[in-house]
Structure 1
């Protein structure tokens, strides 16, 4: 029984670490003084730039993003209006190559001498303190809400995450899109 409880606790802590150690982060920006609840209709900007034989992969993910984001926008109570929308949404994706710099900790060795009535001590740095570089790719999905009459940016939400060969883009996008739209400060319309 004790082994079962111990293995359960270890498994639970590993699961917690895996769930909380995700590198996906989301942020948003809202224009000051704008009440986003006043907008009811939307459309998407022209996505023709994704179409083309050499853009097949981008086109596939564009449709995936569009379908999932459209679902989230409708859940906020917006109605699709391609003739005269109050706002338009657009999205962009990019992958940037980045470099991070970290310093390794210094390792010190302490020396001490003691005797009756006096004490002498000191520390001598032995090694460490080197700057270590780490290269990685970071993917970003940005979704923007723009007022059609003025062209003013009303809201922008984005998600970013480290990506690599093992990254499942569809699974990450499926997780990122709802998290981005949770940051869109609109009460669900009836």
Structure 2
């Protein structure tokens, strides 16, 4: 496997001119408990646009240019919505995952708890899927081999699903309750 890849790299905050296409970007290597995913589809969502623009602001200055969690490291490969094929596994990962079609959970969690909140996202606090390859924790690569959806359709789900589930959790929705979803044509509405 080649040690370089093609990647769309964000070099600074701004418009689309802040993105540079590189054909010689160093390909990531899977670390312990990670898999290397060959990206087959990556969707663009509002988080990607707002991060590129630095539009998230800071608690003390909402107009400041900042990433999702504040300070932001450049260069960065954006893209949190990723579908692909596992092409390499890191130490501690079984080979049976090789060649699996996966959907990537873009959230970076601060601990292993089932109820952990995200402390970052691929494409913001870590490199994402606007490249040929991305390395992710094995627990974030979900087998979708049997899904009838195309890779492009699947790639539209992860970030919107995270937003939708967060809304339901914040509202403390429980079984048997009814939820009205307005604007159900968008990704968040579909995630609910």
Global fold match (TM > 0.5): no
Normalized per residue, which structure has more helix?
1
Q: TM-score if structure 1 supplies the norm length?
A: 0.29
Structure exhibiting the larger radius of gyration computed from Cα positions = 1
Higher relative contact order (CA 8 A, sep 6+): 1
Normalized per residue, which structure has more strand?
1
Q: TM-score if structure 2 supplies the norm length?
A: 0.29
